Structure 1
Amino acid sequence: MFTGLIEHLGTVSSIERDAGGCTLTIAESAPILTDGHVGDSIAVNGACLTVTEFDKEAQGGWFKVWLANETLDRTDLGERKVGDQVNLERAMGAHVRFGGHFVQAHVDTTATIIDRKPDGESLRLLFQLPEPTPERPSLLPYIIPKGYIAIDGTSLTITQVDDSQRTFGVMLITHTQEKITLSKKAVGAKVNIEVDMVGKFVEKSVHASLSGGGSEVMRDTIEKIVEDVLTKKGLV
């Protein structure tokens, strides 16, 4: 589990590809390797990856991660080049304050930056989601104004949503711009998206209740909400 608060920016120092996926080496990463172990989970641009090898000293500290084809298909990591910076966050410790939101670092899809505008010292970014498919339904039901979203692993607040255009926006304050890679990405660049998992759990529970499954409490609650709405509209 992660918080979406980026700890450090690492640099891709090598990429080794084969038919099964690729290995990334992320250098200049010493600050997040102080308590590192092989097998640790590190979110790289919002994708939870397993450390397969590391060295705290060489190249400013480096570690290797393996990316299967599924990960390459779901994320923007297959487009990274040597020299690119990436957002890094270690798995959340039980002893730390929880600042962002619950992030699994299981990327749902990618989105495309379609606009970026300064707003004083802040930066407003607008993203467009891909057309939904049967294999990958729309994520828009989970994206709401003032809700949470993880973009390249960064916990951000949604400022606007347009379901008809499949777009949503966020605003980055100066501090955030300096700490993450997102502010450096241009229009047309892809980003990794993970929607708030709480919305997924709620949707599944509601569907289960409406289809006859789930708990009696949930079903009674849904029926009460529907009855209240219909009463207010004068339909019952």
Structure 2
Amino acid sequence: MFTGIVEALGVVTGLENEKDNLHITIKNELANELKIDQSVMHNGVCLTVVAIHDDEYTVTAIKETLDKTNIGDLQVGDIVNLERAMQLGARLDGHIVQGHVDQTATCINVTDENGSWVFSFEYDASLNNITIEKGSITVNGTSLTVVDSKTNGFSVAIIPYTYEHTNFKTFKKGTIVNLEFDVIGKYVARLHKLA
């Protein structure tokens, strides 16, 4: 369980394919605080730490993860949003995030609002995921509030702190991002579909 509040940024330092799996090595100051088998969210994807060496650690993404997320598009040098699992009894500053990506989306516009930014995204509506205005959405592991909701897209407003402390500063038109829709909204949508 995560909150969607990005804890740190990591840099991809190694990528190694093994059969259908991808081993990803990340350099970050959190590495010496991690342990083998710990869950860490990477751009919204919950992955298990399998190795640690100094200020770097390695996680493995399997084919299922690579097929449904942007993790397989990572390149050495890319910046990744990181969050360790929520501690029991800690404040829930974002919203309930599972680290299970529902689908990807494409950034279709970035507007500089003179002190903030509005990012617009488009996704495949045939997968039946929904957003609502003022509802929660997770973009690359960042908990955000939907500003403008459409059938196949939405916009979010980004404050300077979030811009500087996440990989949003690297997004441009055409950037592929991971989406996790609000878990409560997913259950409501499912119940509505069954009714």
Higher RCO by CA contacts (8 Å cutoff, separation 6 or greater): 2
CA-CA distance at 1:207 after TM superposition:
5.1
**1:97-136 map, 5 Å:** 97-130=91-124, 132=126
1:196 counterpart residue number: 182
User: Which secondary structure state, in structure 1, belongs to the residue aligned with residue 33 of structure 2?
Assistant: coil
Gaps of 5+ in 1: 211-236
Quick check: 2:42–2:141 contact (8 Å CA) kept in 1?
yes
1:138 counterpart residue number: 128
1:149 counterpart residue number: 137
Q: State the structure with more CA Rg.
A: 1
CA-CA distance at 1:97 after TM superposition:
1.5
Q: Distance in 2 between matches of 1:139 and 1:204?
A: 10
Q: Distance in 2 between matches of 1:62 and 1:2?
A: 22
> Identity over the aligned pairs, expressed in percent?
36
Larger proportion of strand: 2
1:182 counterpart residue number: 168
Quick check: 2:129–2:186 contact (8 Å CA) kept in 1?
no
Q: Distance in 2 between matches of 1:89 and 1:196?
A: 17
Superposed CA RMSD: 1.4
Larger proportion of helix: 1
Q: TM-score, normalised by structure 2?
A: 0.95
Gaps of 5+ in 2: none
Q: Distance in 2 between matches of 1:34 and 1:156?
A: 29
2:154 counterpart residue number: 168
2:6 pairs with 1:12: no
CA-CA distance at 1:184 after TM superposition:
1.6
CA-CA distance at 1:76 after TM superposition:
0.6
2:24 counterpart residue number: 24
Q: Distance in 2 between matches of 1:179 and 1:153?
A: 12
CA-CA distance at 1:35 after TM superposition:
3.5
CA-CA distance at 1:206 after TM superposition:
4.6
Equivalent residues, number: 195
